[in-house]
Amino acid sequence: MLKPRKKITRKELKRDPLMEFVYQARQTWIEYRSVLSRYIGLVLVVVVLAVLVIRWRGGQNEKAAAAVGIAFIEFAQGNYHTVIAQLNGSVEEYSGLKSFGNGLFLLARSELMVGDTTGAERHFRRYIDDYGKDRMITAGALAGLGIIIEGRRGYQEAAELYLRASKLAPTAGIEQRYAVFAGRGFILADQPQDALKVLKPLLEAGGLDFRTKSEIQGLVASAEAIAPGS
């Protein structure tokens, strides 16, 4: 007759460093998983900004690069008004400098965070026009514009901006998110066929997590429901 398995205690786990690590990792996940899920978006922003910091090194103008670096630190701390105050007056002074292009994007992003959509739109568009060679940041600027235009109920234009952003996205995951935003925008603009052209290939490609797949399936059902002849 098999004896019940004895439950391994935390004290016993300490004898094995690997098992102790696994135990602690599991306990940490159980305790903090709600917090982690809530702030995962912030983590992604920090990762993108960290890439920007690396790109800022060796800028054409040390003064402009220093100004942008200081502004980045303020942005990371959530001091968006400080970022705006620091960079807004430098737009004309550093216009055209490669090292300030990232600062222009950071300025626009900060303005969007505080609700200054007029300033954010102006600086996002200027970044795209003057510094649009960096695919990753240009995608972020296009998506930022999409958020602003969608907030004004310009759903068709917003959807097209999101679609452009998806084609420049640096990763498959970000590309999917922008494409989903585009599909939703086309539905809101009463353009179900355009929405289906964007959304159906995402389902056919596969590789989606459960939540994203369910979201896309819901949008596809909505588009098909309002499509002509449905």
pLDDT in tens, 133-157: 889 999 999 999 999 999 999 999 9
Residue type, 25: A
pLDDT above 90: percentage of residues in the chain: 53
In Å, how far are 49, 72, 100, 136, 139 from 54, measured between CA atoms? 9, 12, 14, 14, 18
166 within some domain = no
Give the CATH number, domain containing residue 104.
Answer: 1.25.40
pTM (2 d.p.): 0.71
66 within some domain = yes
As separate numbers, helices (DSSP H) first and strands (DSSP E) second, the chain gives 11, 0
User: Is residue 28 within 8 Å of 20, Cβ to Cβ?
Assistant: no
**Per-residue pLDDT at 6:** 47
The tens digit of pLDDT for each residue in 206-225 reads 788 899 999 999 999 999 99
181 within some domain = no
- How far is residue 4's CA from residue 171's CA, in Å, rounded to a whole number? 48
For the residues 72-78, what does the mean pLDDT come to? 92
Question: Into how many domains does the chain fold?
Answer: 1
191 within some domain = no
**Per-residue pLDDT at 144:** 95
- How far is residue 115's CA from residue 163's CA, in Å, rounded to a whole number? 23
219 within some domain = no
Residue type, 50: A
204 within some domain = no
138 within some domain = no
Residue 102 lies in domain: 43-133
31 within some domain = no
Q: Evaluate if residue 194 carries a pLDDT over 80.
A: yes
